[in-house]
Amino acid sequence: MQDPKYVKEAFSKIADRYVITNHVLSLGTDILWRKKVGRIVKEWNPTELLDIATGTGDLALEFQKVMPDCKVTGSDFCPEMLAYATSRGVQETLVADALNLPFEDESYSVVTVAFGLRNMADYPKAIQEMRRVLKPGGKLLILDFSLPTNILRQPYTIYLDKVLPRLAGFITRQPSAYHYLSDSIKAFPAGEKMQELLTSQGMKDPQAIELSFGVASIYTAEK
């Protein structure tokens, strides 16, 4: 669980290079992950969707592209990140802390969070807030990094510790933000642990889908 002051400041410093750094570090795979999320959510046919911790808006933009009739709102507590989401075309954006969302109970048919929950100070509270604003029967989707459980685990951990902070530090000139990224990935609940966390916060039917040999995962659940 993370220090919100540090997180907000770190993202405000890397906002201008966030999108390109993501694509370089993941060799473009993050684009495919978001497209997969877009396909899953489209199947749910939502009329209104909230993407929390939307950052520079990549996922919200994907939703707008694949579901032109859905009302997409992106929120984030870092105005510098959100300004990019707005300028890149996210229709509706709002500066808001995910731990205290300024939305009525049961307002959205789908709530999503990509690479955001891991950065929050209180995972159960964040899930409770997402659940609160979901309509009964509404769907929650989380996309985030995970550690492979297979033979790739050790080389990937070396990449996280040694390569990623140097490469990303070079691109963004903020190496500490990417040491933080490695640490946060190792500490974040993945697989069954995330499914248990979702269940403990009242969500039903939690599912986990591994992406790219377990380097990232999608979790879905229903209210």
Ligand X SMILES: C[S@@+](CC[C@H](N)C(=O)[O-])C[C@H]1O[C@@H](n2cnc3c(N)ncnc32)[C@H](O)[C@@H]1O
**What tokens were used for 83?**
């300004």
Query: Is the CB of 114 or the CB of 194 nearer to ligand X?
Result: 114
Helix (H, G, I), strand (E, B) or coil at 83: helix
By beta carbon distance, the residue nearest ligand X is 55
Site string for ligand X, 70-89 (x = CB under 6 A): ------xxx--x--------
Q: Shortest Cβ distance from residue 7 to ligand X (Å)?
A: 5
- Contact between 79 and 95 under an 8 Å Cβ cutoff? The reply is yes
Task: Give the residue among 114, 83, 117 at the shortest CA–CA distance from 99.
Answer: 117
- Contact between 176 and 220 under an 8 Å Cβ cutoff? The reply is no
Indicate whether 53 belongs to the interface with ligand X (CB under 6 A). yes
d(CA 80, CA 130): 23
d(CA 60, CA 45): 15
Site string for ligand X, 10-29 (x = CB under 6 A): -x------------------
Indicate whether 114 belongs to the interface with ligand X (CB under 6 A). yes
Indicate whether 146 belongs to the interface with ligand X (CB under 6 A). no
Q: Which listed residue (21, 64, 119, 172) binds ligand X by CB under 6 A?
A: 119
Query: Is the CB of 4 or the CB of 191 nearer to ligand X?
Result: 4
**What tokens were used for 222?**
């229903």
d(CA 15, CA 79): 10
Binding site for ligand X (CB under 6 A): 4, 7-8, 11, 53-55, 58-59, 76-78, 81, 97-99, 114-116, 119-120
